[in-house]
Amino acid sequence: MSNLSRIQQDFQEYLMRSTVAIVDHVTGTERVSLATRLRIYSDSYYARLTAALRANYPALAHFLGKRDFGRLAVEYITTHDSRFHSIRYYGDELPQYLATEPRYRPMPVLADLARWEWTMAAVYDAADAQVVDGTELVDRSPADWAAMRLTFHPSVHVLEFAWNAPQIWKAVIEGAETPAAAVSREPTSWLLWRHHLQEFHRPLDSAEEDALATALAGQPFDEIASAMRAHFSEEEATAHAALFLRSWVDAGLVTAVT
């Protein structure tokens, strides 16, 4: 290993592990001591990654407050190296960290809020794709409908929450009063997607949740209609499945009907 490579490795290990080998390559002055010189870079490393976490999780940062979010950031940075070429993706494991770390596990709303924000960012960053319009359905014969399968836009996500994380996020983003954390008797599924460069989200009732899960799994329309029989009568099931399908097309969720 060259001397330059050794210095670079020792410097990186100092920033990420607080090791001391780098002191052999650095000198202090009367005005700036060795410890101060090194701390400038160490503090900058933590400050930059903390800023990245705050940018990716603005509602979580607001909800926790500056002091508690700062402590969370230091704990996360200490245990999670930056593995990406772009700092935009730093913090991908924060929802799991909040869900499993003993300090935060008793507050599951934090993990839910982080999961919501990370997914919203993924919705925004998802690849673009041309969506179909209603003519894709109108031009098909009734005999074709049974075997019809849907391909969904890359931005489409479905998340389930027991806590009111989406409502907290919305209040923070809109500058409204932040509601207190609250848990529901039954978890709520949310649909998130992007259409015409705008992000959308809405809750799903149990029938549409089942219909969408069936469609996202690649099942044909007759299986979607079959799933609706758990929610509607035999006569109504197919009609409701068709209504859901048309609403997904109209909302810009579907990129192909095959």
* Predicted structure pTM score: 0.87
Q: What is the pLDDT of residue 25?
A: 62
Helices (H), ranges, the chain:
3-17, 34-56, 58-64, 66-79, 94-100, 108-125, 135-138, 142-145, 165-174, 206-216, 221-227, 234-250
Rounded Cα distance between 51 and 31, Å, is 29
Which string of b and e fits 216-227 if b means at least 16 CB within 10 Å?
A: eeebbbebbbeb
CA separation for the pair 251, 200 (Å, rounded): 9
Closest to 50 measured CA to CA, from 63, 36, 68: 68
The whole-angstrom separation of Cα 36 and Cα 157 is: 47
Cβ–Cβ under 8 Å, residues 63 and 172: yes
In this structure, the number of other CB atoms found within 10 A of the CB of residue 57 comes to 27
pLDDT in tens, 123-172: 999 999 999 998 888 878 878 899 999 999 999 999 999 999 999 999 99
- Alpha carbons within 13 A on the beta-carbon side of 63: 27
CA angle 221, 218, 226 (to 5 degrees): 35
Strands 254-257 and 198-204: unpaired
Residue pair 13/22 in contact by the 8 Å Cβ criterion: yes
pLDDT in tens, 49-100: 999 999 999 999 999 999 999 999 999 999 998 888 888 999 999 999 999 9
Q: What is the CATH number of domain 108-258?
A: 3.90.930.50
- Please, is 53 exposed, middle or buried when counting C-beta atoms within 10 Å of its C-beta (0-12, 13-18, 19+)? buried
Any idea where the domains of the chain sit in the sequence?
1-106, 108-258
Among left, alpha and beta (phi > 0; psi -120 to 50; other), residue 103 is alpha
**33 — pLDDT class (breaks 50, 70, 90):** confident
pLDDT recorded at residue 27: 72
d(CA 57, CA 36): 31
Q: What does the alpha-carbon distance between residue 153 and residue 198 come to, in Å, rounded to a whole number?
A: 13
Q: What's the confidence (pLDDT) of residue 226?
A: 97
* Lookup result for tokens 């003519």: 135
DSSP secondary structure letters along 190-256: EEEEEETTEEEEEEE-HHHHHHHHHHHTT--HHHHHHHGGGTS-HHHHHHHHHHHHHHHHHTT-EEE
Tens digit of pLDDT for each residue in 194-229? 999 999 999 999 999 999 999 999 999 999 999 999
- Residue 244's Cβ-side half-sphere holds a number of Cα atoms within 13 Å equal to 26
Are 137 and 254 contacting, i.e. CB atoms less than 8 angstroms apart?
no
